[in-house]
Chain A
Amino acid sequence: MYIGKVVRVIALFDPSSRLRPLKFNWSGRLIHVKEVTYTWQSRGGEGAIYHFSLTDGDALYELSYDSRTLLWKLENIEA
């Protein structure tokens, strides 16, 4: 399901994985990231957008981080 909403994220800037979301708020709940399953980049004009597929053990989420606006978005949820 497409969401496309800006969300609050706690992330780790780690030299080994570079950037890794750990927790985020959605719909009044704090979602704990259990596994980042895939990462990729796309272009949004001049800036890169970093995409993260992740799971909390139940649902599959896609978060994106826009390097131009420095905002995180929850793109999709697949329950």
Chain B
Amino acid sequence: MEKTIICIDMDAFFASVEQRTDPRLRGRPVAVIGSGHRTIITTASYEARRFGVKTGMTIYEAKRLCPSIIFVVGNNDKYTHTCRELEKIYRALTPYVEIYSIDEAFLDITGLEHLYGGPERVARLIKGRVREGFGIPCTAGIGPNVLLAKLACDMAKPDGIKRIRQEDAEAILENLPVGELWGVGQQTEKRLKAMGITTCGGLGRASASILRARFGIIGERLKAMGMGVWARPLITSEGEPDSIGHSTTLPEDIWNRPDIEAHIMRLSEMVGKRARDYGYIGKKVSITIRYPDFETFTRQKTLQMPTNDTHWIYIHALSLLDRIRLKDRIRLIGVRLAGLVKDHGQISLFLEDEKRNALLKAVDRIKDKYGDSSVTWAASLRCSIHDHKGVISPAWRPSGVRLY
């Protein structure tokens, strides 16, 4: 039985929400930015995109392209709440939903279409409910698999509906540049070009064995993608996470050791709390450093005993910092706990560890009851809690460990 997948993509999501929030922004070029003074554009409205403003540009680049652009500092609570509510709209129609990112979802409506009068009617229904509930536009792409649903969605943007049937896929894909396919990045596109493959039609006709030899196990997948028959299943539940990490771009580049330690403390606290909330302990701690010239590197160590204790994550992160001879000021710091396994709450043999666990539990309960900023470690007080109002990760999802 042929599948029916709908891809829903919110149009310029953050910018649309801000234009809805402030009537004065409607119909005007708007860019959503982070709160720091050296932030980047996270989303540009379609009015701004017409001037060439794109995600990732600096505010100076955007201003040069579009002098009348209006910058709005993003509000992550607003976007995450909207995403959670959107999920409710999707789940009212089908239980098979993959929230791919904060502004994108796939719905499998196979076998349910007739209940609503066909896939296009389902798409119209969703668009109508989104418009009614939030006043923002979205685009729906319909296809027999996620690849073609996503392609249809990209082709119908903004505020459209498009369906690609399997029998139409060959003609649509024949001259489509491979880079337009969902999942083909710049590197893959470059390597395919070196093989003389520039279109999806060419990719679909390429030898599977040659693609396998060049790209390994994804070679055959690439061929299936070129043919429009790649049947990636929907990921409707989150698997076990590999790691839990947080990073922060600092308001100012820093060099001073106590300032660096304070930020590492705060990040360790966030990582430890999240690991404890979800019942994981980790065997590896890593820190990531970025210099002002964007040179970025990570240092990692394996622990003798897995942990989710904020204090130990911090101590190990500091020991990694000790091994680095900083050549410049720091622009970004990250702390990550990896090699995660489920914490089965092994009983400690030492009274000191028992006391520490009780302390962490008490701190976590206070945070859960009164909010994250209600209690914190003194060592992190040098960095203001207001510093951490960065750009939300595109990988954010309404449930599971990847909440930040």
Can you list 9 pairs linking A and B with CB atoms under 8 Å apart?
A37-B23, A38-B20, A38-B21, A38-B78, A40-B75, A45-B367, A45-B374, A51-B77, A55-B23
Q: Which of A42, A43, A53 contacts B21 (CB 8 A)?
A: A53
Chain B residues in 8 Å Cβ range of A4: none
Q: A38-B17, A38-B78 are in contact. Are A44 and B24 (CB under 8 A)?
A: no
Expressed in whole angstroms, the Cα–Cα distance for A8 and B327 within the complex equals: 55
Q: CB distance B370 to A45 under 8 Å?
A: yes
**Given A45-B368, A53-B21, A53-B22, list of 9 further CB < 8 A pairs?**
A35-B23, A37-B23, A40-B82, A42-B81, A46-B368, A51-B78, A60-B22, A60-B24, A78-B22
Interface centre among B21, B23, B78, B135 (most CB of A within 10 A): B21
Counting CB contacts under 8 A, is B37 at the interface?
A: no
Query: What's the Cα separation between A41 and B77 when bound, in Å?
Result: 7
* Cβ–Cβ contact A40 & B81, under 8 A: yes
A40 to chain B, nearest CB (A): 4
Interfacial chain A residues near B75, Cβ < 8 Å? 40
Chain B stretch 134-177: residues in CB contact (< 8 A) with chain A:
134-135
A51 to B77, CA, bound (A): 10
Distance of B302 from chain A, by nearest CB (Å): 35
Residues of A close to B368: CB separation below 8 A: 45-46
* A residues neighboring B (CB under 8 Å): 35, 37-38, 40-46, 51, 53, 55, 60, 78
Name the A residues within 8 Å of B17 (CB-CB).
38
Enumerate chain B interface residues (CB-CB to A < 8 A): 17, 20-24, 75, 77-78, 81-82, 134-135, 367-371, 374
Q: Is the CB of B22 within 8 A of A43?
A: no
Determine if A45 and B371 form an interchain contact, defined as CB atoms under 8 angstroms apart: yes
Closest CB-CB distance, A38 to chain B, in whole Å? 4
Measured CB to CB, the closest approach of chain A to B158, in angstroms, equals: 19
Q: Kindly list chain B residues whose C-beta atoms are within 8 Å of the C-beta of A53.
A: 21-22
Which of B24, B78, B367 has the largest count of A CB atoms less than 10 A from its CB?
Answer: B78
Report the bound CA distance from A60 to B23 in whole Å: 9
- Among all A-B residue pairs, the 8 with the closest Cβ atoms: A40-B81, A42-B77, A38-B21, A45-B370, A45-B371, A53-B21, A40-B78, A45-B369
How distant is the Cα of A53 from the Cα of B25 in the complex, in angstroms? 14
Bound complex: CA A4 to CA B374 (Å) = 17
- Residue among A40, A45, A51, A60 with the most chain B CB within 10 A? A40
Assess the B23–A43 pair: CB atoms within 8 A: no
Residues of chain A with a CB closer than 8 A to B24's CB: 60
Closest residue to A44 on the B side, CB-wise?
Answer: B371
Nearest A residue to B370 via CB reads A45
Chain A residues, Cβ within 8 Å of B371 = 43-45
Cβ of B334 to closest chain A Cβ, rounded Å: 24
Contact B77 A37 (CB under 8 A): no
Shortest CB–CB separation between residue A48 and chain B, in angstroms? Answer: 10
CA gap between A64 and B246 in the complex, in Å? 28
In the complex, what distance in Å separates the CA atom of A42 from the CA atom of B368? 13
What CA separation (Å) do A40 and B20 show in the bound complex? 12
